[in-house]
């Protein structure tokens, strides 16, 4: 991750020079799901610091565009950082939430960043993408983030727009031409062997951001999309919305005061227990119902080698996700 971000920093400087000179950026096939997952890792500490909940709703299949990975990640970071600033200003007691969403819409790839902040006053919306315009206090912003993001998205043949959702908050939507490989199927960064197409979808149910980072750092390079939630209630909702190849959950994650997440999975979704890996701390034990249904246990704090070994056993012993079932959800 350190190497990847050092390389990104260098590319940002070069890209600024390219942008100023109107040069041509590198274009390869990029999966927006992967861009959003990596960006989530970068901002996890900032979110925890401000008590902000991050929701991810990624399309089940790769959302592939032709573009420059580092420019697209910079655009998304700018948007998310603005969202963090907006929701962190909310008074205590109000929900602080940011949502990342990817979708296919005909021949267009969509990436949305939504937040529960105060939104943008209507009289300022027309100035959002103007260079040096900012709603932040002096010294907190340069007014270049949105204007540069707008230019980078335009250079990719896409569109960056702002909308005020009916329920409040703010939504920034990136629309880019979807890319398909010459054989007609989706492709993702075939020029970059370390960034393979998505092979697995993994759900993490744990209130510890360090676990989210560890699982993502381990499995994202293997081609997986890792989504993370902090409560058992959110985990059950995610399981009902889509299919996952692996669910990594804390043994104490709860659905309500009287029911653990692993219990809920065992009783409500027993067919998923074969894909459930439960982290048990200290001398704790895995819930009997989950064991009987086929869930696996691993001691916390996780050992990366052990975690990977158990996950690979689960992958090998369970059938792949059903595309039909995923699309149905």
Where along the chain do its domains lie? 2-177, 200-328
For 68-87, what is the mean pLDDT?
88
- Residue 157 CA to residue 4 CA, distance in Å, equals 26
Average pLDDT over residues 127-139: 64
Cα end-to-end span (Å), the chain:
33
Q: Give percent of the chain above pLDDT 90.
A: 17
Provide the pLDDT confidence category of residue 289 given band limits of 50, 70 and 90: low
Angular region, 210: left φ>0, alpha ψ -120 to 50, beta rest:
alpha
Residue 261 has pLDDT above 60, yes or no: yes
- Angle formed at CA 41 by CA 35 and CA 47, multiple of 5 degrees: 120
Cα–Cα distance measured from residue 242 to residue 6, given in angstroms and rounded to the nearest whole number: 34
So what's the pLDDT on residue 284?
A: 55
Architecture category of domain 200-328 in CATH:
3-Layer(aba) Sandwich (3.40)
Q: What pTM was computed for the model?
A: 0.52
Please name the fold of domain 2-177.
Heat Shock Protein 90 (3.30.565)
Report residue 108: phi and psi, to 5°: -120, 140
Q: Is the pLDDT higher at 25 or at 191?
A: 25
């Amino acid at each position: 991750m350190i190497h990847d971000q050092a390389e990104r920093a260098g590319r940002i400087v070069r890209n600024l020079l390219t942008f100023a000179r109107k040069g041509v950026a590198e274009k390869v096939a990029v999966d927006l799901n992967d861009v959003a997952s990596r960006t989530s890792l970068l901002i996890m500490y900032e979110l925890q610091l401000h008590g902000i909940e991050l929701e991810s709703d990624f399309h089940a299949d790769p959302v592939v565009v032709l573009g420059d990975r580092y420019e697209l990640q910079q655009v998304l970071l700018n948007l998310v950082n603005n969202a963090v600033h907006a929701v962190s200003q909310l008074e205590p007691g109000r929900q602080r939430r940011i949502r990342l969403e990817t979708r296919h819409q005909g021949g267009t790839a969509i990436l949305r960043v939504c937040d529960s902040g105060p939104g943008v006053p209507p009289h300022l919306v027309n100035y959002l993408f103007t260079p040096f315009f900012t709603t932040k206090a002096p010294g907190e912003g340069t007014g270049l983030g949105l204007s540069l993001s707008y230019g980078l998205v335009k250079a990719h043949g896409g569109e960056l727009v702002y909308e005020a959702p009916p329920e409040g908050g703010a939504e920034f939507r990136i629309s880019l031409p979807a890319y398909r490989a010459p054989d007609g199927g989706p492709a993702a960064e075939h020029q970059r062997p370390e960034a393979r197409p998505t092979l697995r979808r993994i759900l993490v149910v744990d209130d510890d951001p360090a676990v989210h980072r560890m699982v993502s750092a381990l499995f994202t390079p293997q081609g997986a999309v890792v989504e993370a939630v902090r409560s058992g209630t959110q985990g059950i909702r995610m399981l009902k919305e889509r299919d996952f190849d692996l669910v990594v959950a804390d043994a104490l994650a709860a659905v309500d005061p009287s029911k653990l997440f692993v219990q809920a999975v065992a009783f409500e979704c027993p067919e998923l227990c074969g894909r459930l890996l439960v982290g048990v701390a200290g001398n704790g034990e895995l819930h009997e119902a989950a064991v009987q249904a086929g869930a696996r246990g691993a001691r916390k704090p996780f050992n990366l080698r052990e975690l990977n070994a158990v996950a690979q056993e689960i992958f090998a012993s369970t059938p792949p996700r059903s595309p039909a079932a995923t699309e149905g959800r």
